């Protein structure tokens, strides 16, 4: 294990412990604030298709945002975790159409669109644990979204890449490995931070 991999493991542990300390009321309140801030992003306001995810546990909540996007007429794609940790995609048809997936994830119950469906997205909302001042994102370590970002890059697609976080998860530095990709913006309840290459 190289130094950055080790640093990622210890940083993930620290950030997950902080999230675990949050109450369900904290998570619910932040979800509403995040939705309000995110809905003001021009990248989301003009997007015809957005790839997103359903937050679970103490992740910054996404349900209010997903419902608001759908009400706007935006096509929302949600991931379906495959056996190899890659992501297939389905269309969000509302909370009642979600089913329990692998690892406790909430996934769309309808037709599967294939792993390349994400290439149709004008914006991709990425889960994460932290983002630094360069736009480098720290995920949970499963590699699912690394594959998504690699697929987007290889296809030459250029969706807006946005991470939803708690305010204290925008940090000074995220350990970086060669396969890591920077994001364009991070949304917290306090506002939006944008990154330039």
Q: Report residue 75 as tokens.
A: 């096509």
Q: Is 143 annotated as a binding residue?
A: yes
144 labeled part of a ligand binding site: yes
Question: Do the annotations mark residue 140 as ligand-binding?
Answer: yes
Q: Is 142 annotated as a binding residue?
A: yes
Q: Is 9 among the annotated ligand-binding positions? A: yes
Contact 186, 165 (CB under 8 A): yes
SS3 115: helix
Integer Cα distance of 51 and 94 in angstroms: 14
11 is in an annotated binding site: yes
Does the annotation place 134 within a ligand binding site?
no
Instruction: Give me the residues paired with residue 88 across strands.
Output: 80
Q: Is 109 known to sit in a ligand binding site? A: no
Asked if residue 15 belongs to a known ligand binding site, the reply is no
The verdict on whether residue 75 carries a ligand-binding annotation is: no
Residue 13 labeled ligand binder: no
Residue 12 known to bind ligand = yes
**Degrees to nearest 5, angle at CA 10 with 7 and 14:** 130
Q: Cite the annotated binding site for substrate by residue number.
A: 54, 59
**What residues are designated binding site?**
8-12, 54, 59, 137-145
Binding site listing for ATP: 8-12, 137-145
């Amino acid at each position: 294990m190289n130094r950055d991999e080790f640093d990622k493991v210890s940083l993930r542990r620290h950030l997950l412990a902080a999230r675990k300390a949050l109450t369900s009321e904290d998570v619910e309140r932040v979800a509403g604030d995040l939705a309000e801030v995110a809905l003001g992003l021009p990248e989301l306001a003009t997007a015809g298709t957005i790839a997103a995810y359903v937050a679970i546990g103490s992740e910054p909540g996404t349900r209010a945002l997903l419902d608001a996007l759908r009400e706007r007429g935006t096509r929302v794609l949600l991931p379906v975790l495959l056996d190899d940790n890659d992501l297939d995609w389905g269309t969000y048809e509302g909370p009642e159409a979600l089913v329990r997936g692998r690892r406790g994830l909430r996934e769309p119950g309808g037709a599967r669109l294939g792993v390349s469906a994400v290439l149709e997205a004008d914006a991709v909302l990425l889960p994460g644990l932290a983002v630094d001042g360069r736009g480098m994102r720290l995920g949970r370590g499963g590699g699912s979204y690394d594959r998504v970002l690699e697929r987007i890059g290889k296809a030459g697609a250029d969706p807006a890449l946005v991470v939803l976080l708690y305010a204290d998860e925008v940090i000074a530095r995220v350990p970086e490995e060669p396969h890591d990709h920077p994001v364009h913006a991070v949304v917290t309840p306090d506002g939006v931070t944008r990154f330039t290459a």
